[in-house]
């Protein structure tokens, strides 16, 4: 189940507030990506996301840009179902959000749980799109989680876009929202084709079931190589 820290009256957290509490590293891939840690607080577990590289000026700029965007997006989506609760931040170096006990979407999840999670993911997208926000990176399956109750959660908001401001963004919003929606179709086609309407199943599986590397991921890999240099 998901852990829901009670922050009704609590102030925003920072890394000082987390010091001294039991901590488990969840992900650490070096300077090329953010470091994720679970911190167990009396009010409930939280995730600390830190990214402050020192090896490259360009990488520092890129990391700061993504962290600022993600912090802003978590604030924007405060209260949305399926978005971990924003708990605090430190400039462009650290983000603290609710810890969710859930697993990335994959074909090994029990079929009823997977079907429930996919249906709930549609509901989550409806909620974030109502705020004119698009995630744009849901095809990366690690960004979509399903908990034991079949609830869907989306994480890693740094590459999303707030389309509530600006004429161009408003005009592009319907097209960008379709990118999020097609990610759900991809998951259904690859992991749970039985959840499609039988009259459309074969066509949708043929269209969305093929494994391919989407162009933003290719671009991201190329940018990462540029920032980190030859390895």
Domain boundaries, the chain: 15-98, 102-226
> Rounded CA gap, 90 and 219, in Å?
28
pLDDT at position 204, please? 83
Is a pLDDT exceeding 60 seen at residue 38? yes
In the β-sheet with 152-154, what is the strand arrangement from edge to edge?
Answer: 102-104, 144-147, 152-154
Token pair of 211 as six digits: 């494994």
Greater confidence (37 vs 219) lies with 37
- Residue-level pLDDT at 96: 98
Helix (H) or strand (E) segment spanning residue 92: none
Half-sphere exposure of 129 (CA within 13 A, CB side): 17
CA dihedral 128, 130, 131, 134 (to 10 degrees): 50
Q: Which of 87, 103, 89, 88 is nearest to 26 (CA)?
A: 103
Interior angle at CA 218, CA 31 and CA 212, nearest 5: 125
> By percentage, how much of the chain surpasses pLDDT 90?
73
CATH topology for 15-98 is Phosphorylase Kinase; domain 1 (3.30.200)
Position 1 scores a pLDDT of: 39
Name residues whose C-beta falls within 8 Å of residue 31's C-beta, 6 or more positions apart in sequence: 53, 54, 55, 56, 59, 228
Query: Mean pLDDT score of the chain, rounded to an integer?
Result: 89
* Distance in angstroms (rounded) separating the CA atoms of residues 81 and 130: 12
> Over the stretch 132-176, which tens digit does the pLDDT of each residue have?
999 999 988 899 999 999 999 999 999 999 999 889 999 999 999
Contact 26, 40 (CB under 8 A): no
Question: Over 90: is that where the pLDDT of 116 sits?
Answer: yes
């Amino acid at each position: 189940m998901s852990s829901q820290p009670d922050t009704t009256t609590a102030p925003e957290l920072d890394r000082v507030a987390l010091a001294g509490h039991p901590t488990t590293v969840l992900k650490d891939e070096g300077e090329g990506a953010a470091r994720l840690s679970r911190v167990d607080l009396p009010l409930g577990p939280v995730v600390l996301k830190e990214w402050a590289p020192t090896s490259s000026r360009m990488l520092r700029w890129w990391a700061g840009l993504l962290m600022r965007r993600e912090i802003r997006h978590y604030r924007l989506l405060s209260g949305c179902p399926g978005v971990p609760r924003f708990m605090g931040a430190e400039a462009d170096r650290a983000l603290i959000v609710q810890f969710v006990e859930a697993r990335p979407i994959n074909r090994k999840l029990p079929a009823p749980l997977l079907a429930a999670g996919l249906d709930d993911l549609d509901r989550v997208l409806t909620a974030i799109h109502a705020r004119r926000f698009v995630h744009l990176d849901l095809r990366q399956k690690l960004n979509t989680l399903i908990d034991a109750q079949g609830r869907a959660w989306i994480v890693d908001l740094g590459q999303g876009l707030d389309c509530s401001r600006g004429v161009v963004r408003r005009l592009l919003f319907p097209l960008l929202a379709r990118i999020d929606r097609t990610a759900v179709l991809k998951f259904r086609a690859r992991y749970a084709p039985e959840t499609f309407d039988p009259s459309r199943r074969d066509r949708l599986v043929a269209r969305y079931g093929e494994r391919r590397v989407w162009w933003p991921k290719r671009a991201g890999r190329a940018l990462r190589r540029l920032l980190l240099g030859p390895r």
